């Protein structure tokens, strides 16, 4: 499955996109559609280098603007080398007498010619070493974590140095922190238990929000459009919910009080299934919204090169710009929804029932 990466919806991305296609604007209509489709598919993938944009010179050579990232493999020992050895997947990398090639965004062991063998289902049969590489998505996660650490450490320190009043950028983020506490955590979890979950709720909100905003920049990265990332985030919510759930939580799943025994037997499997459906809905909602919106954006930009007319290109650019503004709202909205639903699930887990009153 492809690992999805968001691309810029700002003018800088538009310029990068146009530069990579401008060298072939005289191509036949069918070729142009195929080229746009391939370009979009390429930007949906995670990568082993950080490419900001690319262009084709007059001699037909393709040039990339960006920087390589470290490739870390375990293949009879640790292998660490720069992704520049792959030349954006076009070359075979030789490391310590072993040869490696990239096929469908995965690294395989191969020979000096870069031979990749396939089975009947067109799956590569070459040996695939354990891959711990620092890909573009991982790099942006580290950048986001570093940014959050220094930003909120500064906010916390400003309270001590300024008599409990936030300073600098903290003045912008403090109301958001209070909103998450007063409007999300306390109403859904309760005054008694909400403090146990505040650190996670704040972390998950700003983590998703910042990554979504980074996806709207010319960096062209959409980490939250990677289903492996959204799965990991949903898994954290799932584990916290079920490991902190009290006996009433589990009792209302397996043996609901006040319900006839035949109905208990019928409803117990349904309630148990719901335990897994809830985090699944979290990961699919975030992944699908981030992926679909930006496929639409790049498709609209690509229409400019298909229409090749003043009216059609202007309309396509106008639509892309309008949707990019909506995506700014979606970036915040998806972080809010994920945090809200996580708080709601935590509230279910620690809710105290009084069966006698029922």
pTM, 2 dp: 0.82
Cα angle value 27/31/37 (rounded, 5°): 125
Task: Note the pLDDT tens digit of each residue in 198-237.
Answer: 999 999 999 999 999 988 877 767 788 888 899 999 999 9
d(CA 88, CA 6) in angstroms, rounded, equals 18
Strands 78-82 and 70-74: antiparallel
Torsion 216-184-196-352 (CA) sign: negative
Q: How far is CA 312 from CA 301, 304, 309, 316, in A?
A: 11, 7, 5, 6
Task: Give the domain ranges of the chain.
Answer: 70-133, 137-350
CB atoms under 10 Å from CB of 52, counted, come to 16
Query: What sections of 133-260 are H helices per DSSP?
Result: 136-161, 170-179, 186-189, 195-214, 227-243, 247-254
d(CA 218, CA 239) in angstroms, rounded, equals 35
Strands (E), the chain: 49-56, 62-68, 70-74, 78-82, 93-95, 98-103, 106-110, 130-131
pLDDT (tens place) for every residue of the chain, 358 residues total: 333 333 333 333 333 443 344 333 334 444 677 777 777 776 667 888 887 776 777 777 777 778 889 999 998 889 999 888 888 778 898 888 889 998 888 899 998 888 888 888 888 888 889 999 988 889 999 999 999 999 999 888 888 887 778 888 888 899 999 999 999 999 999 999 999 999 999 999 999 999 999 888 777 677 888 888 999 999 999 999 999 988 888 887 888 777 777 887 888 888 888 889 999 999 999 988 888 877 887 788 777 777 777 677 788 778 888 888 888 899 999 999 999 999 999 998 888 765 544 4
CB atoms under 10 Å from CB of 347, counted, come to 19
What tokens does 185 get?
Answer: 């955590």
């Amino acid at each position: 499955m492809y690992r999805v990466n968001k691309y810029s919806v700002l003018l800088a991305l538009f310029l990068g996109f146009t530069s990579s296609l401008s060298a072939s604007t005289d191509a036949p209509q069918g070729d142009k559609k195929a080229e746009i489709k391939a370009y979009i598919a390429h930007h949906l993938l995670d990568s082993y280098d950080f490419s900001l944009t690319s262009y084709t010179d007059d001699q037909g050579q393709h040039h990339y603007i960006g920087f390589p990232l470290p490739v870390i493999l375990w293949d009879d020992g640790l292998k660490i080398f720069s992704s520049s050895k792959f030349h954006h997947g076009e070359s075979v990398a030789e490391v310590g007498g072993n040869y490696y090639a990239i096929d469908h965004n995965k690294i395989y062991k191969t020979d000096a010619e870069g031979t990749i063998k396939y089975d009947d289902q067109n799956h590569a049969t070459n040996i695939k070493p354990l891959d711990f590489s620092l890909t573009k998505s991982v790099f942006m996660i580290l950048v986001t974590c570093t940014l959050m650490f220094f930003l909120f450490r500064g906010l916390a320190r400003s309270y001590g140095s300024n008599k409990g009043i936030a300073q600098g950028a903290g003045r912008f983020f403090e109301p958001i922190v209070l909103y998450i506490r007063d409007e999300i955590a306390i109403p859904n979890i309760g005054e008694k238990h909400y403090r146990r979950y505040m650190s996670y709720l704040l972390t998950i909100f700003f983590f998703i929000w910042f990554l979504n905003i980074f996806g709207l920049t010319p960096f062209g990265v959409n980490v939250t459009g990677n289903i492996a990332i959204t799965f990991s985030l949903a898994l954290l919510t799932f584990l916290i919910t079920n490991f902190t759930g009290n006996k009433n939580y589990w009792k209302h799943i397996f043996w609901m009080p006040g319900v006839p025994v035949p109905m208990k037997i019928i409803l117990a499997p349904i309630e148990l299934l719901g335990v897994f459906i809830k985090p699944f809905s979290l990961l699919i909602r975030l992944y699908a919204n981030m992926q679909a919106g930006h496929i639409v954006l790049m498709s609209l930009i690509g229409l400019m090169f298909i229409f090749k007319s003043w009216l059609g290109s202007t309309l396509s650019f106008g639509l892309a710009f309008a949707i990019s503004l909506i995506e700014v709202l979606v970036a915040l909205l998806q972080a809010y929804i994920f945090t809200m639903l996580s708080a709601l699930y935590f509230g279910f887990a620690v809710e105290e029932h009084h069966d006698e009153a029922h």
